[in-house]
């Protein structure tokens, strides 16, 4: 690829490179270590891109796995190679932070189906030498966890001190705690649910239809066609972004304030600040995210239903667990409302699990878990400190 003057084009090229050759660490698995997917496909070769922070102790007992949300990635506490922005959870992960990288060995991997270096639809299909596109098999949250477990094996970590994550990251935490219970000492599922609600599936479908309605999507083959369904993906992001906030936070932040103008424009420019904000969210997102990845990862969330895998009884997913849980929700989160967290807590109680649950009063909606919410950080720190004591760390 020739260097180019166009910064947008450059960012896009850099992103495409990340899919196969991530800037982060990467573990590659050949045909001898295939990934068995829920859909029945055996994926090989495959790779998982990850970052680590801190040092694994001699007992290999201080490892923490952070699971990222829909549009997150492995750069939890380090600069993003495409956007140049700080890590997405630096408020929580770092030296002296609640997940203290001076004490713990923190691992964060890009999810299966993602576009930042773990095998996904933007990766090169070894059979064709071109991007997988829609030929990539549909993956599930359980598949994501399988891929992470393979990485943890690869790193020589017998079991994890803590698995933590919000939103889709929280789904992975629950899946870990259920499918790999003996390898999880403490689990921290935040702002999440044991299944995706009908309303959430509905929002995901709107996003996917927006992507697929873009003529530049080319039935998923835009990478080979040299196009990019930016408009569709931007609309998907705009719609989704609304679900991450709350009516009250939108009102406080933007109200009906106008953008760079004194009076209404009597047209369809972004008169209102909220419009301008959403357009910005949409256009900056497409520079760092692959449209097909968006389809696959939202699909994985839609398919998630932990109780269904256990005869319809969620408690059975946690039978006999020794893991310590801390479940957290936010009052203004309407994407994963507190009722979803309560369902998890009731199931954990029924399974006799050691569980804490706190609902944080916060008005910034679902995204609160990523933001500066001192009460959340205090509870995180208290939970982690007591778990660390119990593990002798």
Binding stretches for another protein (CB under 8 A): 324, 326-327, 345-346, 349-350, 352, 354-361, 375, 378-379, 381-383, 385-387, 389
| Residue 98 beta carbon to another protein: minimum distance, rounded to whole angstroms | 11
| Residue 190 beta carbon to another protein: minimum distance, rounded to whole angstroms | 13
Backbone dihedral region of 40: left (phi > 0), alpha (psi from -120 to 50 degrees) or beta? left
| Residue 248 beta carbon to another protein: minimum distance, rounded to whole angstroms | 18
| Residue 364 beta carbon to another protein: minimum distance, rounded to whole angstroms | 17
Longest distance between any two alpha carbons in the chain, whole Å: 67
Classify residue 326 as exposed, middle or buried by CB count within 10 Å of its CB (0-12, 13-18, 19+): buried
- Please, which residue, 281 or 386, has the CB nearer to another protein? 386
Gap between the Cα atoms of 121 and 48, Å rounded: 13
- Computed from CA positions of residues 176, 181, 185, 187, in that sequence, does the dihedral angle turn out positive or negative? positive
Tell me whether residue 216 is annotated as binding.
Answer: no
Tell me whether residue 73 is annotated as binding.
Answer: no
CA dihedral 252, 258, 262, 265 (to 10 degrees): -150
- Please, which residue, 103 or 230, has the CB nearer to another protein? 103
Residues labelled as active-site residues:
167, 333, 366
- Please, which residue, 109 or 362, has the CB nearer to another protein? 362
DSSP string, 305-331: BTTGGGTT-GGGGGTT---EEEEEEET
- Please, which residue, 228 or 323, has the CB nearer to another protein? 323
∠ Cα 202 203 204 (to 5°): 90
Gap between the Cα atoms of 364 and 373, Å rounded: 10
Q: Which residues are annotated as part of the binding site? A: 237, 367
Q: Which residues are annotated as part of the binding site for substrate? A: 237, 367
């Amino acid at each position: 690829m020739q260097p180019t003057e166009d910064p947008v084009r450059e960012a896009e090229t850099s992103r495409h490179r990340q899919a196969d050759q991530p800037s982060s660490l990467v573990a590659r698995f050949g045909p001898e270590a295939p990934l068995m997917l829920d859909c029945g496909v055996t994926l090989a070769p495959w790779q998982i891109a990850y970052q680590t922070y801190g040092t694994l102790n001699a007992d290999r007992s201080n490892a923490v796995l952070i699971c990222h949300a829909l549009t997150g990635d492995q750069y939890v506490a380090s600069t993003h190679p495409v956007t140049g922005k700080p890590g997405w959870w630096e408020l929580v992960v770092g030296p002296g932070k609640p997940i203290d990288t001076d004490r713990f060995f923190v691992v964060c991997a890009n999810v299966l189906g993602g576009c930042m270096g773990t095998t996904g639809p933007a990766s090169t299909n070894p059979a064709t030498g071109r991007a997988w596109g829609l030929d990539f098999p549909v993956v599930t949250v359980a598949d994501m966890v399988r891929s992470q477990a393979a990485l943890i094996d690869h790193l020589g970590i017998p079991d994890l001190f803590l698995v933590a994550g919000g939103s889709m990251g929280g789904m992975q935490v629950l899946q870990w705690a259920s499918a790999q219970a003996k390898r999880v000492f403490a689990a921290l599922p935040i702002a999440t649910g044991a299944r995706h609600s009908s309303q959430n599936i509905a929002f995901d479908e709107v996003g996917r239809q927006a992507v697929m309605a873009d003529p530049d999507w080319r039935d998923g083959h835009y990478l080979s066609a040299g196009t990019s369904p930016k408009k569709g993906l931007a609309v998907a992001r705009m719609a989704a972004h609304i679900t991450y906030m709350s009516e009250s936070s939108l009102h406080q932040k933007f109200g009906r304030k106008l953008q760079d103008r004194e009076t209404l424009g009597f047209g369809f420019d972004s008169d209102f600040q909220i419009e301008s904000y959403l357009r910005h969210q949409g256009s900056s997102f497409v520079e760092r995210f692959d449209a097909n990845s968006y389809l696959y990862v939202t699909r994985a969330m839609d398919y998630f239903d932990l109780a269904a895998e256990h005869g319809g009884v969620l408690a059975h997913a946690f039978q006999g667990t020794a893991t310590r849980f801390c479940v957290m929700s936010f009052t203004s989160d309407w994407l994963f409302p507190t009722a979803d967290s309560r369902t998890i807590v009731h199931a954990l109680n029924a399974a006799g699990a050691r569980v804490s649950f706190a609902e944080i009063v916060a008005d910034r909606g679902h995204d609160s878990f990523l933001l500066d919410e001192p009460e959340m950080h205090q509870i995180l720190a208290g939970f982690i400190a007591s778990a660390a004591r119990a593990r002798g760390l």
